[in-house]
Every structure is written in structure tokens, then in C-alpha cells.
Structure 1
């Protein structure tokens, strides 16, 4: 289906043309019929000679109904721009063209109507010149008379050519269906309508009603009055919502794919005009939504908008800013849906320079170059294309041309390389300052690099770093312990050979020069094992279990002391360790223990 907004000139000229093309009057309200004036959006459709369906959204021409006009233009993939031969270019024509320009509609067709009342050449020439200066550029044009039928066949052929040449909609894109009508159907419940510009809707889909975020389900679909199981963009679609009260839906809301859009109340934008002076509180139009906003100018052509009502947006979306005190319409391109706070002196000017150089591309590499790192689901919600992960190459550090993936995070390769270098420096500094404790804890490295998750640290570790037991070491660091600690460990091992279950006393540890920190190093290196406040050989637990197996039946702490030739000071923490590891079982009533099988 091809969908056009019919805009540009006097209401009766557009409405008459649409009646001639479709056989249906777009002015559906009684007051519109009585006054001969389009007040709200009208929806009609027809088929081209080849059978292709064609839908029209008729927008009001009068400036008093500009909000309705903008809601119709914003959601249409193309525009049928209408100018009458007898009246020529009018102020509302320019206003409609400004809206087309602001929303970035690039596909269109010019129609000069009422060619039976005046020579259309003058109106045609002026309209062509005006449209050429907009984002529509040079467009084809047709002069017609709806009353006599002159030119209507040529118009249908041009519409067919326009539809065939229009860019294809992305059928796999997430849905954001801006609602333009909501009503109740007997026996069906709440029905909403809108122009589907991308993606597809299917009966049974679970969506969100934006901006409230309320979950909704698709009970039924219609396209051009016919029931459908699936509707693909572009299309006019009516959606029957399951168990959704009519009072909860209205124009300006949207049905969106959950998790695929960024709900935001603050956006940074690039204005279409650098020298424009914005009002302090413009009205912001996006799709069929309209909300107030406060503007913070950042620099030439750049501004920050704080929205009164959040919008579900992607990077690259188009907004229209309207001055409620005048007829000025200004287009704006969304560059950042989650902008940083501006707190320092001069931050606004710095941000303006950043925005001036900021691309609107939603390619992953482009956005990661700006962001550094971001969660995968957040990037998708911003509108960034996130393809399948590519693992980093097995080189010294993250590959220069590969996005780095760690858990749910994606990192720019250059940013990751910088973090990896910083991580090496941190490990080296830790090793030099604490030779007895050379391994930098991963959690400490996370804080030093200001990373959101510890899992990122291991992903950033270069080939010169080793991750072991939650710590980072340099691979080229000396493996041997410092000489004094190595000698103390040998003496302690000699003590254990003669009495493996006699824990060294505090006096003996001081004689050996073994501080708490030195003992922790020996434990980490696997030279000794710690049980509570005592230290024993590394294999003490296994050796104790072997000796205790010679005790037949339940045994007491005293039995354990005699079997191991040790004291209660050692036996109790050792037995508690055996309990925790499932080697022994303690009877709560008698306090006796038995060894488990195996």
C-alpha cells in the first residue's frame, strides 16, 4: 500500500479532488459537511489501475487546526501537495510546506487543481519553485479538474509511478504506530487507527501503549476495511485492542514494540536553521503527539529540549518545534535521546560543538565511537542497528576493527583499547606497590576504570594480563615468592612435616616473619590452608579425613584430637570446615560426628 498526506491548499479543493479519485468524501464530520471546511483528519482509499491500494490522509488547511494538520503530515511516507489554479500559492500552502520540510518528507507529487477555472501554468510554476527549495526537491506535477475529470487519469498514472519508486519500508523494524483515531466498535471494543510506516503487526502481538508504557495486545487487525492476520508497512491499519478501555487511548499515543524505543523526557537536537530564535517553551510535534517543552539553547543550531510528556524516540527521529505565538515551524533532528547532564561552566558550548560534529547514523560502530560503551538492549532502544556479535581477534588487546562484547555490553574498539592499556598500568602499579600481594582484585580494577560491571574487566584484559581467582596479574611478573617469604614458607613446611596438625603459634609466626598479609599470600599461592584463625598444610583437610576414617562409629572432638595429635584449638575449626564441605555430619543432640560415605 502507498500512503500519502494530502496537504497544501484550500480544503474544498483537496476534498473535491479526493472524492473524484476515491469515490469517498474525506470530510466525515457533520460540521465539516455543513461548513465545507476540513476540521480534522480524513481517511479515504482507492486502488490504482494496476490494483495497488492507495490510501490518503486528508489534513485541514486552516491555520486554526494546525495541530491536526501536523499529526497527518508527520506520519505519512509521502505527500500529495495540492495548489489551486485560481488562487495560487497561499499562506497555508507555505505553512504546510514548512511542516513537510520539518518532518523530512522526501517523496511527493504536486497537483494543481481547478484547472477548469484558471490557467494552471502560473500556479504550477510558483509551486514547483517553492517545492524545489524544500526537502521534496524537484517533483512531478499534474494539472487536473475534479469537476470535469481532466487530468485525473494522468494523476493516477503519476501516483502509480510515485508508489513504485518510493523507498521500501523496513518490514523487520520495530513498530511505532502513532494513533490518529480511537473509537469503540460494538462487540469488539476499542479500536485505534494509524499509519504504519515500518515493521509489521500481527494478531496476537504484545505491544506497549506509549508514553504510559501500558502493555496491550492485538485482538484483531483491519487494513482498508478488510480483516487481516498480518499487516506490513506502509499501510493504514485499524487495531482492535484486547481489554483496553476506550478512555485510556487517544490521538498522540503510540503502539510500540516493547524494549525497542527509548522513553525520554530530554533530547539534544540539531535545528534545521542555525540562526533561528526559538521560543522558551515551544510546542513539540512528533508523529501524532504534541507536547510542551522548555528549550535550552546550546549554540548555533543546537538545543536541548526538556519535554513535558516523554516521547518514545530513536536517534535520527524528526521533531517539529512550533511557536504558539506565531506561525513559525522549525524542524529538528534528534541526535541524542539520553544526553549527559550539563553541570560545569562552559558545558553548553562544549556540547554544541559535540552536536555539530555528531553524526545521525544509527550504525553500531558510529554510535559506539561516540558513546564508548553501552548495554546492547539500550543501543537497540536508541535505534542503533545491533548485528550479531563478532568476537575480538586473538591479538594483543582488543582488535582495532571489532566491537568488543562482554555479557550484555558492547564497547568501541578504540575505547576498549584505551581501557585495556589503563588496566595494564593499574595492575603494574599495584604489583610494584604491594609485592607481597601482586594481584589486583577485579573489583578494584572495575572501580579504577569506572566500569559499570566487573565482567567488563576480564573482557578488557590484554594478552599481557592473567585473570586468576578474581585477581589480575601480569603474565611477565616473577612467579617466585620474594626470598624472605620463600624461606619462611620452607621453615613452616618443615614444621608441618613433623606435626601436620600442630598449627603455628603467634610466637612462631613472628619468629618466621609471617604477617597476616604474608600468610594470605601463602594461602593464595596454595602453600598453606586457613581454617578460621589457624593455618595448616594445604592438604590438611584431606589428611584429616583419612585419619578420622580409622575411628569406627561416631566420634567426639576429643577423639579427633587424639587421632590427629592436636589440640581443640585446631580440631574445632578443622571439624567445622569438614562439616561445611560435607565430609562429616554432626549430630545436633550428642555433638558427635560421623564421616559421610565416600
Structure 2
């Protein structure tokens, strides 16, 4: 669990953390010299009944709000520090706004330096603080008077923190692992080390990836609060030794992840909560987007039809790619004047469309959000691997949606049930139309169907299975036809079929070519030939030659009689036995090879199986 401090400069945040933990979080020489916190500080805090929680001490100076944001995102509860002798100050209000925008719903307010004020003043300040907290993330937080110098109130503060921490819902350790990097440095003999707060999942030694850049790395060692551990999981502070990446590639703003589905975000869909800032948000407004430890330039487009609502759908276009996930909270700050202008929640970190429109709000039910993503994905569906990221849910939660009849899940993609029905209707109509136009055919080739339909092959295959189950279509090998379909000839084609059979059967071992039959009988020959082949009235020996079955029987019988079991025969050796010229012999022998009666070896052929020859 992570506790983050917040509050105005010099209100005693670092001194209070030192009094609670015994750790001085000001580690930089510049911090010691100036007496203020400049960068993030970290300390462990032992709480009875809770265990060790991580404390992030953030700077309070307005010049370091970006650093405060890097520490505040991802915390589980807040410790808002307000000096009793000064009361609420500008950074108190800004930090409180940030905590509210980040949806930090649990915390404690510490009213510090009570040794410097009298009881009456303390009561006035306490009432003023309670009024300021109304409508904020900490409106129900306890206000605890305390002095880091005298120790007064420390036990009460510790008890209040313990109570708040006990009410925090634990994050899912089985989720995808993600840790925004807030520090990166090199250790001699170890290499690159990154530190951060684990936002989700569990990490152990092995493969991982650093974004932006998608650098594959190997986790060499893990520590938490200075102790070597086998794993780190959600809401823990962690130091991770990495191989395969430089410090510059894993600096603050980078993210360490494991698992599939992570993609850098250049455009995000989000819901914004606008502050009462005087800065107007237009597509031309230059702003800063703070998400995790990332701080990048951005432009925001508020969707016109939603302008003025408390939760305003928006498109956020980023100057540099970051790693984001649905449900992530972020803060937008203007450059001039330097202030928070909005907070937001990501609804889709990697929308499929070039100019995406709003999707379902993050508060919508998981099925409704998945339906919206499926609609956005169109006929190609949604990449299943990306759903835990695009929906902000654990892989197991996403997989549970597979039982919902409104969806069709494959190994790689997810489609809406409506799209599956649409594909089924299109497939049925295509097969029926093809058979109306070609009644002599046994069906339609599956490859032709896939090429003609604007759906993924997975969706077509499922539509086929569904239609076959309903007995609307039937499948034989790679041929698809309507259920109960029988090829048929028209009266004219039936007459033509008889003439073609007569032509082939009367020509014996040297039949006419297909081109010669077409020249004699017309262009309608090809479908009739295929029909006769399927009905076994003709045998196709090669692309150019069909034979009467009785003729093939005679030729096979002569060939088998002429060939011994253990000898190779050249075409010349069997030419006279088969009783045909070389023009017809070679295609016939190749037909025998294909039907596994003979096998070609070296300069000749051997008899492979007498039993396969036609009787």
C-alpha cells in the first residue's frame, strides 16, 4: 500500500514523515542546503494490523508540482499536510484539487505545527480546513492535530492512517504488471536500476518490457524498502535491476510492463472534469498531460455535443507517446498561467479510428464497453490481447465476458454477436446466389467465400459453423453449399452431357482435349465436364484430358500387368502395354502417380500398389 503526502511548501511534510518513520526523505544535497523538498522521497511505515506501507514524500513548492504529480498518481491514500500557523495556502488547494482529479478517495489530514499556535487559533484553522475539504476527495477524511517537534498527536495520526489503510481495497496482484518509473540510475556491478510504485500485477525475475520504445529487458533482481524479494506486486514500492536497457531509456516517465497488449498511446479518448480555471480549453491550447510519472505536451478536443457537462468526453492528442490504460487518472495543466485545468480518466488508450469519437464512459458496464469497442473495430473485431489494456480489466475478467452471448471470442479477436449474425446472413446469401448462377456446381469454394466477404476468416469460419449447426449450409472439405443441395443440369445441358460422354467414350485411349470439345460444343462445356466428373461418368486424368471410366480401367489393367514389383519402368517400357502415344501416356502416368498406383523414381516408375488400381 502506498501513502502519498501533499500540501504547501514548508508545512512540515518531510518532518512529519521523519517523525512517523524515522527516515529523512530529503536525500539530495540541494534539498539539505535549501531546506525544502525538491524531488520525491521514500520511506517505509510500519502499521499494526496493516504491515509495511510505502510513503512518498512530495515537494510542496509550486515550481515542483510536476514532481508532486509523478509521486501522487498511483497512491492508495493521501496524507494532506496543513500547517496550523498558516492554514490553507495556494499549493494546499492545488494539491487537494490534484488528489480529487486523481480520485484518491481515502486519506488523512494532518494539521501540523500545533506547538506554534494556541487552542483558539487551532479551532479556527480546523473549521477553515473542514470547509475547504467539502466537495473534495478528502471531505470525509479525519483532521488530526499534530506536532512533529514535540510528538503530540503522532499516535493519533498513526491510528488514523491505520484506520484509513485498513479500508483501502487491495489491487489485483493477478492483473497485468505495470510500474511507472520515477527514478532511474546505474549501480556498479548491477547496471540499470529503476524504482517506482507498482500499479498493478506481480513482477518476478525474467522477461519484461520498457516503454516508450518497447525495449525488451531482463529483470535481474528485485528489492522493496531495501530488502531483496522474490516478487513485487500491486501497491508496493520496488527497485528493479534491469539488463538490456540504458538509464536514459528508462528515465522518469518510462513504464516497466509484462504481458501482451501494451501499446504506446499517441491519442487517447477520455472523460474530463474541468476546473473553474480561466484558461479555455480549445484544440489550439497547449497544455501538459501528467499520467503516472509521464509529463508530455498535449492538445485536447472537447466533443462539442458534450461541452458543458460535468464529465466531458474528449480526445487527447499527445506530443510524445506514453503508456496508458483505460481507467487511468491523469491531470491536465496549462502553461500560462501555470495551473490545473482538468482531470480525466482514460476511456480508450489506443482507439482504432484515426479520428475517434467518444466510446462508452468508463463507469459503464463491462459488456457495454466491450460492445462499443467491437463497434469501433468494425468487421475485423477487436484484438483480444489488447482488451485488458483498452478496458482496464484483468485478463481473467475479460475472459469471463466470453460466456456472454452478445460476443464471439476467438483466440485472437472478439466480435459482437450482431456482427456474427450479419456475417452469417451475408454468407448464406452469397452461397445461395452462387448456386443459383451455377446450378451444376456442387458448391462454392471456401477460399472464394473468404475473398468475397469483408469479414475476418475467423468470423467467416464461425458463421459457417453456426449455419451448419442450424442446417442452413453444409460443408464438404473446402466446398460449401446450401443444406440438401444437389447439382442439376438444365434440359439443354443434359443433352450436351450425353454428347460429351459419347465423344469421350468413343475416342478410346486417345480422347480429345478440353479445348477441342469446347470448340465443337460451345462455352457451356466446362461446368458440364465438372458435373460429369463429380457424377463419375468421366475421369479427369489431367487439365486437358478426360477419359471414359471403362477406358481408364482397361489402361490401368494393362499397365499393372506389364509392370513387375521390383523394377523401374521408363515411359517407353510401358507405352505399348498401355496402348497409346506419348502425348497421352505422360499425363496418364502422372495421373497414376497422383492416385498412388505408381511412384516416380529416378528415370522411371515403380508399381506402388496393385490394389489401388481400378478393377
Q: TM-score if structure 1 supplies the norm length? A: 0.87
The Cα of 1:126 is off from its aligned counterpart by: 3.4
Which residue of structure 1 lines up, in the alignment, with residue 86 of structure 2? 87
> 1:15-414 maps to which residues of 2 (within 5 A)?
15-50=14-49, 52-118=51-117, 119-202=121-204, 204-273=205-274, 277-278=281-282, 280-299=285-304, 300=307, 301-326=312-337, 327-341=339-353, 352=357, 354-355=358-359, 357-359=360-362, 363=366, 366-372=369-375, 373-382=381-390, 383=392, 385-387=394-396, 401=405, 403-414=407-418
SS of the equivalent of 1:147 reads coil
For 1:24, what is the secondary structure of its paired residue?
coil
> CA–CA distance in 1 between the matches of 2:482 and 2:318?
50
Whether the 8 Å contact between 2:434 and 2:444 is mirrored in structure 1 is yes
Partners in 2 of 1:184 and 1:147 — Cα distance? Answer: 36
Shift in Å at residue 312 of structure 1? 2.0
- 1:465 matched to which residue of 2? 473
Q: Provide the rounded CA distance (Å) in 2 between the counterparts of 1:133 and 1:150.
A: 29
Deviation, 1:159, is 1.1
Cα offset, 1:561, TM superposition: 4.5
> Deviation of residue 214 (structure 1)?
0.8
CA contact 1:106–1:135 (8 Å) conserved in 2: yes
Instruction: Decide which of 518, 531, 536 is 2:528's aligned counterpart.
Output: 518
- Partner residue in 2 for 1:578: 592
- Separation in 2, partners of 1:407, 1:556: 52
Tell me the equivalent position of 1:396: none
The question of whether the paired residues in 2 share the 8 Å contact of 1:102 and 1:329 is answered with no
Whether the 8 Å CA contact 1:458–1:467 is kept in 2: the answer is no
Between the two proteins, the alignment pairs up a number of residues equal to 578
Whether contact under 8 Å (1:376, 1:409) holds in the other structure is yes
Contact 1:220–1:240 under 8 Å retained in 2: yes
- Partners of 2:123 and 2:164 lie apart in 1 by 22
In the other structure, the counterpart of 1:345 is none
Q: 1:391 to 1:261 in 2, by over 3 A?
A: closer
Say if 2:439 and 2:488, in contact at 8 Å, map to a contact too. no
Q: What SS does structure 2 have at the residue aligned with 1:416?
A: helix
Partner of 1:550: 561
Paired residue secondary structure (2:208):
strand
What is the DSSP-based 3-state SS (H/G/I as helix, E as strand, rest coil) of the residue aligned with 1:18? helix
Corresponding residue of 1:432: 436
Deviations 1:124-158, CA, capped at 9 Å, x for gaps: 33333433413444222222122222211111111
Distance 2:540 2:130 in 1: 87
Cα contact 2:50–2:166 (8 A) shared by 1: no
Contact in 2 for aligned 1:318/1:333 (Cα 8 Å): yes
Matched position secondary structure for 2:303: strand
Aligned-pair CA distance for 1:198: 1.7
TM-aligned CA deviation for residue 58 of structure 1: 0.7
Aligned counterparts of 1:466 and 1:511: Cα–Cα separation in 2 = 36
Structure 1 pair 140–284 and aligned structure 2 pair: CA distance change class (3 A)? same
In 2 relative to 1, CA 428–543 (structure 1 residues): closer, same or farther, beyond 3 Å? same
How far apart are 1:205 and its partner, in Å?
A: 2.4
CA distance in 2, matches of 1:139, 1:542: 95
Once residues 519 and 390 of structure 1 are traced to their aligned partners in structure 2, the CA distance between those partners, rounded to angstroms, is: 52
Q: Secondary structure at the match of 1:272?
A: strand
CA contact (8 A) 1:272 1:331 kept: yes
Q: 1:455 to 1:196 in 2, by over 3 A?
A: closer
> What's the CA shift string for 1:520-573, capped at 9, x where partnerless?
454466654351222235798887555422113443435544434444333222
SS at the partner of 2:116? coil
- Separation (CA, whole Å) in 1 of partners of 2:536 and 2:389: 48
Q: 1:214 to 1:390 in 2, by over 3 A?
A: closer
Q: CA RMSD in A?
A: 3.2
The 1:432–1:258 alpha-carbon spacing in structure 2 relative to 1, beyond 3 Å, is same
Shift of the 520–406 alpha-carbon distance from structure 1 to 2, 3 Å rule, reads: farther
Distance 1:362-1:258 versus aligned 2 partners, 3 A rule = farther
Q: Does 1:422 align with 2:426?
A: yes
Residues 300-336 of structure 1: CA deviation (Å, up to 9, x unaligned): 2233223222122222222222212221331122222
Deviation at 1:116, TM superposition (A): 2.4
In 2: Cα distance, 1:134 partner to 1:176 partner: 28
Residue-by-residue CA offset, 1:398-433 (whole Å, 9 max, x unaligned):
x98253234522221122112212222222232333
- For residue 446 of structure 1, the aligned residue among 445, 450, 459 is 450
| Greater mean deviation of Cα atoms: 36-45 or 135-144 | 135-144
Give the Cα separation in 1 of the matches to 2:249 and 2:243. 12
Greater Cα offset, 439-448 or 405-414: 439-448
Correspondence for 1:595: 607
Check 1:170–1:560 CA distance in 2 against 1; reply closer, same or farther (3 A cut).
Answer: same
